[in-house]
Amino acid sequence: MSEPIEDLLRRVAPQVLGVLVRRYGDFAAAEDAVQEALIVAAEHWTRDGVPEHPHAWLIRTATRKLVDEHRAAAARRRREENVALEPPAAPVPDADDTLRLLVLCCHPVLSPASAVALTLRAVGGLTTGEIASAFLVSETTMGTRISRAKAKVAEAGAQFELPEPDERGRRVQAVLRVLYVMFTEAHTSSGGAGLQRVDLAAEAIRLTRLLRTALPDDPEVMGLLALQLLTDARRPARTGPDGELVPLAEQDRTRWDRAAIVEGIGLAVTARRAGVVGEYQLQASIAAVHDAAPTAADTDWAQIRTLYELLERVTENPVVTLNRAVAVAMTDGPEAGLALLDEVAPKLVGHHRLDAVRAHLLEEAGEPEAAARHYAAAAARALNVPEQQYLTMRAARLRTR
Amino acid sequence: MTRFMILTKYDGSVDVPPMSEWDPADMEAHLECLRSLNAELVANGELVEMNALTGPDLAKIVTADGAGAPVVTDGPFPEAKELLAGYQMVDVETEERALEIAAAVSAAPGPGGKPLGQHIEVRQVMFTFSADV
């Protein structure tokens, strides 16, 4: 079976954009032209079939759009002569174009939310309408947001060239952060159930794979891809029939995606062998330990605890300490976990997860009343409906049993 | 068609404990009732949008005199029952239909399956601005 048109378009979109930016320099205008060309292609190809050379077809169409826009702009400025576009150079298919585009779209001057939107459009080949629906805003709003992001990148003087090697690592980190945010957005967004939405988790995985083709040996790129695969593998078991949250320990593990787990564990292992410890690899390793356990009771908590200790050192994030407290409770008993919570509590005042974890450990410690109180407190500060209902339900069960 | 906003508040008008103290089966029945009501509104093409807000503990109240720094007050607030919990924006044929929807929200079952009887506010919309229009 041939590749669906939508997948084909999304796959070649960054290549086409890379060629145009390389030839004509203007990222913002080239990006608009490619977006228009993609919309035209979707319509024509569905009707008339995919052309023999889809890549060349898109470059031609996008170039025409770009030229038209330059002429219109020139006319608007009442110039007599058209802006001369350089004659197209020979196509330079460049594997690094994808990396250049990602680095450009994930520019540090952008907020993560803006970078996610721009990346989905320029590198992901999604339409503004699709991105808008993924974030539950109108198409006009999303279009404006993307235009502003492009203007901001241009103002920052960003070039379509990779930064110097000493700067490059930091910029790749920024790309990883944006792809991480894109992925987590899929799990935490407040969108209503049953709405037709772009699968942000799948898009993030696809784009991270793309990044990996440009940086095949980078352990953090491998780590992030592994983390996404190992987390997404549990998606079918994570929610019940009414969208209610099913915690890890109660999930039906036969519903986990085995192929994704195998690939994720392989990547996590390869990344760890590189010997450079990073945030994403460590998170991936933790996910791998969970995913490798045939039942919740088989989980190797001692190993998870060690990994959280390492992650805590790398990130210095108090939320990591919360997770370590759960692992400590599993190896040394709930009281040890609760003692660790007391230590970290001052850094997490008002954070609903502190109450949620405390409630869980109090429940384990055989203190249902205190546990219910903390579940209710966590529910009062929850940020999404499934989590709020889950926490409220836990409190209710403890109080009425 | 006319737009109405159907608002649910943290209501002091009903004397029931917070949901975290209900029987889990009662909570399930309450949620199921609201789920099926919303599904019906979607199926009828009557639901424009719906928003559930985070709890009063996370609410902030801002007052600014335009000169000094704004005063930001954090929750929880003693008058929490006046705070909005969420709303449904519906576009319906008649006011009667809007009132019927509000009645269904109000009668959602509480502890022991007894209808809660919350005060639901129904307000006809006078002006709408959306970034798409």
Q: What integer pLDDT is reported at residue A196 of this predicted model?
A: 40
pLDDT-derived band of residue A66, with 50, 70 and 90 as boundaries? Answer: very high
For residue A396, give the nearest of B27, B55, B58 by CB distance.
B27
| Mean of pLDDT values over B14-33 | 91
**Cβ(A78)–Cβ(A13) under 8 Å?**
no
Shortest Cα distance from B89 to chain A (angstroms)?
Answer: 14
Percent of chain A with pLDDT over 70: 92
> pLDDT digit string (tens) for A246-261?
999 999 999 999 999 9
Q: How far apart are CA A202 and CA A256, in angstroms?
A: 16
Q: Does A400 touch chain B (CB under 8 A)?
A: yes
**Cβ(A392)–Cβ(A384) under 8 Å?**
no
B131 inside domain: no
B71 inside domain: yes
> pLDDT digit string (tens) for A137-196?
889 999 999 999 999 999 998 888 888 888 889 999 999 999 999 998 876 654 444 444
> What's the topology of domain A97-185?
Arc Repressor Mutant, subunit A (1.10.10)
* A contacts of B18 (beta carbons < 8 Å): 376
CA angle A316/A357/A360 to nearest 5° reads 155
> pLDDT digit string (tens) for A11-40?
999 999 999 998 888 899 999 999 999 999
For residue B21, give the nearest of A139, A382, A396 by CB distance.
A396
Shortest Cα distance from B20 to chain A (angstroms)?
Answer: 5
| Mean of pLDDT values over B41-62 | 92
Cβ-defined contact of A192 to B50 (cutoff 8 Å):
yes
* B contacts of A388 (beta carbons < 8 Å): 55
Q: Tokens for A253, please give them.
A: 């593990």
Cα A389 vs. chain centroid, distance in angstroms? 25
Query: What is the number of other CB atoms lying within 10 angstroms of the CB of residue B130?
Result: 10
> pLDDT digit string (tens) for A344-399?
999 999 899 999 999 999 999 999 999 999 999 999 999 888 899 999 999 999 98
Residue B34: which domain range? 2-124
Shortest Cα distance from B131 to chain A (angstroms)?
Answer: 6
Q: What integer pLDDT is reported at residue A283 of this predicted model?
A: 97
> pLDDT digit string (tens) for B90-131?
999 999 999 999 999 999 999 999 999 999 999 999 998 877
Domain count, chain B: 1
Q: Of A120, A118, A107, which Cα lies nearest the Cα of A171?
A: A107
* B contacts of A144 (beta carbons < 8 Å): 131
| Mean of pLDDT values over A286-293 | 97
Q: Does A372 touch chain B (CB under 8 A)?
A: yes
What ranges do the domains of chain A cover?
5-76, 97-185, 319-401
> pLDDT digit string (tens) for A89-113?
445 556 678 889 999 999 999 999 9
* Nearest-by-CA chain B residue for A191: B51
Shortest Cα distance from A193 to chain B (angstroms)?
Answer: 10
Q: What's the pTM value of the predicted model, to 2 decimals?
A: 0.87
Cβ-defined contact of A400 to B22 (cutoff 8 Å):
yes
> pLDDT digit string (tens) for B68-91?
999 998 877 776 667 899 999 999
Q: Tokens for A233, please give them.
A: 């593998």
Least confident of A64-68, A70-74, A231-235, A329-333: A70-74
State the CATH number of the domain containing residue B25.
Answer: 3.30.70.1060
Which CATH number describes the domain made up of A319-401? 1.25.40
Residue with tokens 């709003």: A141
Q: What integer pLDDT is reported at residue A90 of this predicted model?
A: 46
Rounded alpha-carbon distances, angstroms, from residue A57 to A23, A53, A378: 16, 6, 55
Q: What integer pLDDT is reported at residue A93 of this predicted model?
A: 52
Q: Tokens for A76, please give them.
A: 């608007």
B92 inside domain: yes
Q: Tokens for A377, please give them.
A: 């407190």
Containing A151, the helix (H) or strand (E) segment is helix A139-155
Mean pLDDT estimate for chain A: 90
